[in-house]
Amino acid sequence: MNANQREADRETQIEAAGIDGLTARLWDVEIVTGVTRIEPQLTSQDVLIVLLSGAGTLIRDRDMLPMRPDTVYCSPGDSTFGIEGTSGDHAVAVIRMGLYRAAARDQSRLVRDREHTAALCCEGVALAQTGRASNLCRTMKEQHGHEDPVMRWRAQLTLQELLFELFSTARRPSRSDSRDALEQARRYMDEHYREELSIKRLAGVAELSPNYFADLFKRHYGVSAMDYVTQLRMAKAKKLLVCSDMRLKDIAHEVGYEDEFYFSRKFRKAEGVSPSAFIKKRRNKLAVYGSASILGYLMPLQVVPFAAPLHPKWAGHYYSMLGSDITVHLDAFRQNQHKTANLQRLAEARPDLILCPAGVDAKERAVLSGIAEVYEMPKPSNDWRAGLRTVAERLGERAEAERWLEAYERKVLHVREEAGDGLNQTVLTVRLYKNQFYAYCNSGMADMLFGSLGLQFPYAGARFPFDRPLSIAELDEAGADRILLLVCQETETLEGWKALQQSPEWMSLHAVRGNRVRIIPSDPWREYSPSAIERMLGSMPELLTGKRPSLFGILSMVE
């Protein structure tokens, strides 16, 4: 579908859904500054996102969109979004809102309107007037936080002003500028990468001069146009190499190369190995099902499956590290919520061996067994090292496991040296969900913090995993030298956390006043796997002392 078709569909969507019957509601607005990353989070509400300054990339579910000034992006309810900034000087407005209309059978009742939100969930809507989106967002933020309730009500009207301009802009053809031209060229490349593409041809699609197009594309996307075409071709080639019985010559032709030897050279340059070596390394088509944490056992063994669950939020580390190397991406949304679709994709992929979590549902197990041999991972225990050795034994990688474990122990010694007196601390690990704190310590945390590093847990004799409710006052009463706080990345918890940080109860805590609370992310701290525990370990010097880990500490696992 080309850009003109998308615009026509969006205009039809807006007209057909009865825009005059909509009611808008502003729930919250915040302006995020001084951070280079907003962790992917699940939102239950519709969210409008505006880049106010700097540069950044919007991660929306599986899509990555370079953000543009004066452009409003939308992430619908029940989806995930996050932002990667290129520096700490960017500012982003995050507006949580809802669109509602009268219910068909009961006009006195309002229901969520999804049609108009969907119309905005494209590559973004650019407002014609420079600075208009930014000004409305900043005004809305000021009004929403005003002490006068009338001014807070005025923020609702400012939201409606923004929505009016969005829908008005979305109804008419977008103004043609270089950014839109680049997007049009990129989409053309996505659809025509098999064909013979040149800078001249792509510049013609964008209606720009070849030199200007080449320079602008690289500055905007961080990769040259022809390298982007190569990435598309290599991604398709890897899938065909693993999932089809096609000859190398036919694969080369399928992805846009007439000469199979030239294709092989390009493949080696891009992937570091020849096509034949790539196939040999994946001679057993290994698939992971049910939990992305299984990848945390495979990475130490240098094993890359050809199919696995991946998602920017629920499997962010593996999505970033292995996404381009894993051929078949299963859906990891909410930890295998879409299991039926995943089972279907596995059946189509025809793996030789499937790794799945221990205790998988009997019906799922039966379906998996009908697809390929199934290996259930060791049950979660307090001995992940034994689990790694067991998996390595099954995959014929025992020597690799022992090398990794030796490197891990060296890293433990190095982290202990870097942390120094910081290890003489009592550490309380806490999670916040909704409006409730919990003293929380899973088996991975316990092994690394209180086993490998020898730190102390405030509750003597506690058995792990540990999870019990805490009041705010008990955070101080525990007497911990350091609190590691994990805040659940979902809408209600984040809203409550934002309000809590401004409350007298929170600000009066000794741990808060003494700057002894550190925020830790769900990934890797909620995962139990060798890779996750190694990443937790690497963050400890900074968490305990405020010092960033040395280069050796970061690279010691790469051998």
What type of residue is 73? Y
Give the HSE-up count for residue 66: Cα atoms under 13 Å, Cβ half-sphere.
Answer: 14
Burial 401-415 (b: 16+ CB within 10 A, else e): beebbebbeebbebb
Centre a 10 Å sphere on the Cβ of residue 175 and count the other Cβ atoms it contains: 10
Strand-pair category, 56-60 with 79-85: antiparallel
What's the number of CA atoms in the CB half-sphere (13 Å) around residue 441?
22
Angle at 158 between CA 155 and CA 164, to 5 degrees: 150
Between CA 442 and CA 336, with CA 384 as vertex, the angle to 5 degrees is 65
Confidence of residue 116 (pLDDT cuts 50, 70, 90): low
Cα of first residue to Cα of last residue in the chain, in angstroms, is 46
Residue with tokens 């490197």: 407
| 376 bridge partner residues | 356
CA distance 371 to 533: 32
Closest CA to 224 of 207, 203, 204, 247: 203
* Per-residue pLDDT at 555 exceeds 90: no
Q: Which residue has the higher pLDDT, 156 or 67?
A: 156
Look at the alpha carbons of 214, 218, 221, 225 in this order and tell me if their dihedral is positive or negative. positive
Secondary structure of residue 427 in the 3-state scheme: strand
Q: What percent of the chain has pLDDT over 90?
A: 49
pLDDT value for 189: 93
Q: Are 56 and 67 within 8 A, CB to CB?
A: yes
3-state secondary structure of 51: strand
Q: Which domains does the chain have, with CATH numbers?
A: 3-171 (2.60.120.10), 178-281 (1.10.10.60), 286-377 (3.40.50.1980), 420-555 (3.40.50.1980)
Question: Cα separation of 414 and 148, whole Å?
Answer: 55
Digit-coded pLDDT (tens) for 24-41: 999 999 998 877 778 888
Task: Please state, in angstroms and rounded to a whole number, the distance separating the CA atoms of residues 290 and 336.
Answer: 6
What pLDDT score was predicted for residue 549? 46
CA–CA distance, 341 with 307 (Å, rounded to integer): 14
Q: How many whole angstroms separate alpha carbon 326 and alpha carbon 309?
A: 10
Summary mean pLDDT of the chain? 85
pLDDT at 550: 46
Q: Is-contact 54 33, C-beta < 8 A?
A: no
> What is the chain's Cα-based Rg?
26
pLDDT in tens, 454-504: 999 999 888 888 999 999 999 999 999 999 999 998 888 988 998 999 899
How many CB atoms sit inside 10 A of residue 303's CB? 20
Choose the weakest-confidence range: 178-192, 396-410, 490-504.
178-192
